[in-house]
Amino acid sequence: MDKAIVYKVSYVVEGGKHPGAIINMDTEPKVGDIVKFDGRTFEITEVDELMPPAGDFGFLHATCRFLG
Amino acid sequence: MADWALMKKVQLFAGLSQPELALLAEICSEKEVPADTLIIEQNTIGTEMYIIAQGSVEVFIKGFKEKSILVFLGQGQVFGEMALLNQGYRSASVRGTDEGCKLYLLEYRKFTDLVNANQNIGFVVMRNLAGDLAFKLRHQNLAQL
């Protein structure tokens, strides 16, 4: 059985006017995924590694755009 | 007592064995926070760290003129963690968001007693704490671009 990875994700919103969010995810976020925080809906436009993985944790940075 | 299965998904505790996680879970207490409740107030003395078990919070600071939101934190994140290093003034305020949240509290004194008895827990948590602060700093830098 594959080891379950927890993805700690830094979500940053395009434009720099929203502070973004840090959220743990059970699945790796992908471009085009929809994510909700601050009561709002965003679409992921880019995903990069923020820090090297360690143990059962991956550390990602996702850029998103505001949908509504 | 905290749910140790959830604590396994908290990066601050990554690398701890199941018995070590169980020891930490034993000294955590649970707190339900109604929506839009102020949990931490900037510039007050803090003696506990919080783990988000459910829901989310907003972290903000108040300057001379206006409130500035620094970040939203969701399940598995920690805040007030500098209370585990010292018991100084809180550097920011934290409020539960519209959905409310469930938190686990880890008191500085209980944590210190535990790590004095089990130094591996202290080493792992402090190493991970440095990683968590680095992650938040990187997030903050990118969010300002």
Best residue in B66, B72, B93, B98 to probe A by mutation, most A CBs within 10 Å? B72
Query: Does the pLDDT at position B109 exceed 90?
Result: yes
Q: Do B9 and A24 make contact, defined as CB atoms within 8 angstroms? A: yes
Query: Does the pLDDT at position B70 exceed 70?
Result: yes
Query: Does the pLDDT at position B105 exceed 60?
Result: yes
Of B88, B107, B80, the C-alpha closest to B44 is: B88
What is the reported pLDDT for B47? 92
What is the reported pLDDT for A24? 95
Residue A43: exposure state from Cβ atoms within 10 A (0-12, 13-18, ≥19): middle
pLDDT, tens digit, for every residue of B12-50?
Answer: 999 999 999 999 999 999 999 999 999 999 999 999 999
Kindly give, in sequence order, each residue whose CB lies less than 8 Å from that of residue A36, ignoring residues fewer than 6 positions away: A42
pLDDT, tens digit, for every residue of B118-145?
Answer: 999 999 999 999 999 999 999 999 887 7
Q: Do B145 and A12 make contact, defined as CB atoms within 8 angstroms? A: yes
What is the reported pLDDT for A3? 72
Q: Do B73 and A39 make contact, defined as CB atoms within 8 angstroms? A: no
Grade residue A2 by pLDDT with cuts at 50, 70 and 90. low
What is the reported pLDDT for B65? 74
Q: Do A19 and B70 make contact, defined as CB atoms within 8 angstroms? A: yes
- Closest Cα of chain B to A28: distance in Å? 15
Could you give phi then psi for residue B132, rounded to 5 degrees? -65, -45
Kindly give, in sequence order, each residue whose CB lies less than 8 Å from that of residue B74, ignoring residues fewer than 6 positions away: A21, A22, A23, A24, A37, B52, B55, B56
How much is the ipTM here?
0.91
- Closest Cα of chain B to A68: distance in Å? 17
Write down the architecture of domain B4-108+120-139 according to CATH.
Answer: Sandwich (2.60)
> What is the model's pTM?
0.93
> Considering only CB atoms, which chain A residues are within 8 Å of B75?
23-24
Q: Show the tokens assigned to B71.
A: 């970040």
Of B11, B77, B144, the CB nearest to A16: B144
Q: Do B71 and A6 make contact, defined as CB atoms within 8 angstroms? A: no
Domain extents for chain B?
4-108+120-139
Of B15, B138, B144, the CB nearest to A10: B138
Mean predicted lDDT score pLDDT of chain B: 92
What is the reported pLDDT for B138? 94
Neighbour count for residue A24 (Cβ, 10 Å): 18
What is the reported pLDDT for B93? 96
Of B11, B69, B131, the CB nearest to A19: B69
- Closest Cα of chain A to B20: distance in Å? 16
Best residue in A46, A57, A60, A61 to probe B by mutation, most B CBs within 10 Å? A57
pLDDT, tens digit, for every residue of A3-59?
Answer: 789 999 999 999 878 999 999 999 999 999 999 999 899 999 999 999 999 989 999
